[in-house]
Structure 1
């Protein structure tokens, strides 16, 4: 016996949740944890910043704000390792 199931996606509702304060807090906490792990890896003389922003959802960027940042990521993968270290699913686009 087969059943037909219809699923209707509420895109407006999903967007509302993705831009909510609860999601913003979770995203920012994750970014702060990643930034802390990066700081521990690169040392106190290398600035690491967290930038919070909103697109169609809440987001945050962790940046090694130093000319050595590209090399640290390319050679050691400090950002990737830090994100993976908190359980983030890191993928190459």
Structure 2
């Protein structure tokens, strides 16, 4: 019979909210965003914004700050490519 394992949920949450994990999340987002420099829309350059925030753990989001940002992502997949290039896993999220 395999040994029983008891997970320490409070300890895992504390680890996920640590400064080290926050720093790693931010570094990954900044790495992905750095590869997006130079994106152009029909009317000029597209600003790339990295937002850091907190849910039950540290989170960072990358935004193409342009009226056509969603269309650019849909047509060219800039964000998906940048994320996978930074070693991040990309998947669908329930809204």
TM norm structure 1: 0.89
Matched residue count? 90
Distance 2:68 2:3 in 1: 54
Q: Deviations over 1:21-52 (max 9, x none)?
A: 00010000000011111224x14821110100
- Residue 64 of structure 1 corresponds to which residue in structure 2? 64
Q: CA offset at residue 9 of structure 1? A: 0.8
2:28 maps to which residue?
Answer: 30
More strand, by proportion: 2
Matches within 5 A, 1:43-82: 43=40, 45-82=45-82
Q: Which runs of 5+ in 2 are unaligned?
A: none
CA distance in 1, matches of 2:2, 2:66: 56
CA-atom RMSD in angstroms:
1.4
TM-score (normalised: structure 2)? 0.87
Between Structure 1 and Structure 2, the one with more helix by share is 1
SS in 2 for 1:39: coil
Residue 92 of structure 1 deviates from its aligned partner by: 2.1
- The Cα shift of 1:4 comes to 3.5
Larger mean Cα displacement after TM superposition, 28-37 or 43-52: 43-52
Q: After TM superposition, where is structure 1 displaced by more than 6 Å over at least 4 residues in a row?
A: none
Return the alpha-carbon distance in structure 2 between the equivalents of residues 69 and 33 of structure 1: 19
